[in-house]
Amino acid sequence: MRILVVEDDPQLRDGITRGLRSAGFGVDAAADGAEALDMAAITPYDVTVLDRDLPRIHGDDVCRELVASSHGSRILMLTAFGDVDDRVAGLRLGADDYLPKPFAMAELLARVDALGRRVGPATSPTLRVGDLTLDTAALTARRGNRLLDLTRKEFGVLRELLAASPAVCSAEFLLDKVWDDRADPFTNAVRVTMATLRKKLGEPGAIETVTGSGYVIR
């Protein structure tokens, strides 16, 4: 899942970005509303975490632009104001969810995950294919009864493969959803991560390579 974090406070922006990346998401970050709209015009984000009080272009106007553009991103609006009228105002702008500051990172992760599952067909927070099970809320993955010790990128790749199954995921798709705008499009990161993930999943092999197309778990 690809996420855009829009927050002008550098410390909070970095904290949110690190927390989301630790959950295996591909995350980009913007420091103001104008930068956010420029990035959203180039990259189709699944979820936008949007601070309401932004410089250059206010978060309300960013929200309106994203909704009007049929951008498709689910919007989680953040604000220092948590009264009912303020929450209602944010939702009426087109935001999908609303989280007042200060907030717990665990709650933000849960809300982002829930919004991400509303992009396209509804999916369960627990993904299962064969003997593979991945819990997007608890951030755990198992093969049968065996708990898998995965890196954040391995977890993210497995999550995308399970969510897409039985469809094939291209390397370009996985790079977009699990990495971020800093990733070199010619990198071999997906291939390397796939090799270590396959080793950790063990036998029989769970991930099939479809020549010329990508990877699939059936």
| Count: domains in the chain | 2
Position 121 scores a pLDDT of 54
The beta strands (E) that lie in the chain are given as 2-6, 26-30, 47-51, 74-79, 97-100, 126-129, 132-135, 140-143, 146-147, 208-210, 214-216
6 confidence band (pLDDT: 50, 70, 90): very high
Query: Is the residue at 121 inside a domain?
Result: no
- 49 and 31, same structural domain? yes
Whether 107 and 144 share a structural domain: no
Predicted confidence band of residue 116 (pLDDT cuts 50, 70, 90):
confident
User: Mean pLDDT throughout 17-35?
Assistant: 94
pLDDT tier, 199 (very low <50, low <70, confident <90, very high otherwise): very high
Going by pLDDT thresholds of 50, 70 and 90, the confidence category of residue 138 is confident
pLDDT band at 27 (very low <50, low <70, confident <90, very high): very high
Q: Are 107 and 179 in a shared domain? A: no
Together in a domain, 23 and 107 = yes
Query: For residue 119, what pLDDT is reported?
Result: 64
Q: Give me the CATH number covering residue 154.
A: 1.10.10.10
pTM comes to: 0.75
